[in-house]
C-alpha cells in the first residue's frame, strides 16, 4: 500500500481543536493551547469545546458533525487535535465528508474513540494519521514532557523512535511494516463495517481501558475469528489499565488473556509498549512504516 502522508507543520501553521465525542470544559484545554502556542503554532478552537450540552456528549450529533466538518474543510487548519475521546464518533462518522480532506490531507491527532477515525481514513483513503494524546493530557504535565513532546516531533516531521523494556511474554523477531491499530474496543467495533482494515503484513497495536476482563477475551476472539491474527507482521501490546473483574474472577489478567489467544501464532509480539490510557503514551504515525525489533535485552520501534 502506498500511503499519503499529510504535510508536516511549520511555525505559524494552525492547529484546530474540536470535541467530536465526549464533553470537555473549555478550561481544560488552556494548558494545551499555551503549549501549542509556545511551539509556534496558531490555535483555532471549535464550538464543541466547552459546548452547551447537558448530557455526555460535547453537543448534539449535528453540532459535533458540523464542527468537525468545518475543521476538515478549513484550508487554514493544518492539523486537528481532538480535545478528548470517550464515545461519539460512531454516531456521526457515516455523515462526514472526506472529499476536501482527500484532496488536501491534514494531520488527525487523537486516540481512544478517535481510533475509529484512524481506521476509517486508513482503510478508505490510505492517508496517514497520528495516534496521540489529546488536549486534555496537557493539563497534567509540562511542554517538555517527552510524551507530549512526541506530538510536536510527529507534527514537524521528525522520525519517531521508541524503546521499551522486554517482557516475559514477548516473542522475539525483527520486522519492517506499516503500523496501524489503536483501542481494542474500537478495533473490534470496526469488524465487518466500512472502517474495517486488513491486518496482513501490518504491525498491529492495541490498548484499552476500563473493560471487563471477559470482554477483553471476547473482543480478542472476535478479532481472531475475523482473521486479524492470521498474517500480521507483528503485534504490539500497549497498556490495559483499570481492568474490571466479575464477582467470580476471570482468572487471568489482560496480558495473560492476550498471550493465550495468540499462543497458536508465531509472529513477533511486544508487551508493555508505551501507548494507551496512561501518561506514557507516545505519538505514533498510523499508516507509516516502522522497523520493530523485539530482542532479548531491548525492544525498539523506529520510523523508516
The CATH number that applies at residue 205 is: 3.50.30.60
Residues 203 and 145 in one domain: no
Residues 63 and 78 in one domain: yes
d(C-alpha 155, C-alpha 151), whole Å: 6
pLDDT of res. 1: 45
Close Cβ partners of 206 (under 8 Å, ≥ 6 residues apart):
181, 182, 183, 184, 187, 235, 236, 237, 238
Domain boundary among 135, 155, 175: 155
Provide the pLDDT for residue 140. Answer: 78
Mean pLDDT in residue range 33-40: 96
Domain boundary among 155, 174, 205: 155
Global pTM reads 0.96
| 151 & 176 share domain | no
The CATH number linked to 101 is 3.40.50.10740
Residue 144 pLDDT > 80, yes or no?
A: no
The region of weakest confidence among 1-10, 37-46, 70-79 is: 1-10
CB 82 within 8 A of CB 20: yes
State the residue for C-alpha cell 507509516. Answer: 288
Instruction: Examine the domain organization and report whether 88 and 195 are in the same domain.
Output: no
Show which of 120, 136, 155 is a domain's final residue.
155
The reply to whether 99 and 172 lie within a common domain is no
Same domain, 192 and 253: yes
Quote the pLDDT of residue 2.
58
Amino acid at each position: 500500500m502506498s500511503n499519503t502522508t499529510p504535510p508536516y507543520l511549520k511555525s505559524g501553521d494552525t492547529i484546530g481543536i474540536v470535541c467530536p465525542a465526549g464533553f470537555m470544559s473549555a478550561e481544560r484545554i488552556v494548558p494545551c493551547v499555551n503549549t501549542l502556542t509556545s511551539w509556534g503554532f496558531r490555535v483555532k478552537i471549535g464550538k464543541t469545546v466547552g459546548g452547551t450540552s447537558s448530557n455526555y456528549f460535547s453537543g448534539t450529533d449535528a453540532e459535533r458533525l458540523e464542527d468537525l466538518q468545518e475543521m476538515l474543510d478549513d484550508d487554514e487548519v493544518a492539523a486537528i487535535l481532538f480535545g478528548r475521546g470517550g464515545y461519539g464518533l460512531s454516531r456521526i462518522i457515516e455523515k462526514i465528508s472526506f472529499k476536501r480532506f482527500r484532496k488536501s490531507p491534514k494531520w488527525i491527532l487523537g486516540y481512544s474513540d478517535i481510533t475509529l477515525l484512524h481506521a476509517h481514513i486508513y482503510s478508505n483513503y490510505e492517508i496517514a494519521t497520528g495516534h496521540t494524546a489529546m488536549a486534555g493530557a496537557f493539563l497534567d504535565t509540562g511542554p517538555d514532557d517527552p510524551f507530549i513532546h512526541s506530538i510536536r516531533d510527529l507534527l514537524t516531521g521528525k522520525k519517531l523512535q521508541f524503546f521499551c523494556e522486554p517482557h516475559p511474554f514477548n516473542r522475539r523477531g525483527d520486522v519492517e511494516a506499516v503500523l496501524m491499530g489503536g483501542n481494542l474496543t474500537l478495533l473490534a467495533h470496526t469488524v465487518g463495517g466500512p472502517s474495517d482494515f486488513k491486518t496482513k503484513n501490518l504491525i498491529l497495536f492495541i490498548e484499552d481501558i476500563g473493560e471487563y476482563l471477559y470482554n477483553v477475551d471476547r473482543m480478542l476472539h472476535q478479532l481472531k475469528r475475523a482473521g486479524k491474527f492470521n498474517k500480521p507482521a507483528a503485534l504490539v501490546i500497549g497498556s490495559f489499565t483499570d481492568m474490571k473483574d466479575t464477582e467470580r474472577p476471570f482468572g487471568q489478567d489482560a496480558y495473560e488473556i492476550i498471550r493465550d489467544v495468540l499462543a497458536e501464532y508465531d509472529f513477533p509480539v511486544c508487551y508493555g509498549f508505551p501507548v494507551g490510557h496512561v501518561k506514557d503514551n507516545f505519538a505514533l504515525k498510523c499508516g507509516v512504516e516502522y522497523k520493530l525489533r523485539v530482542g532479548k535485552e531491548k525492544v525498539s520501534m523506529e520510523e523508516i
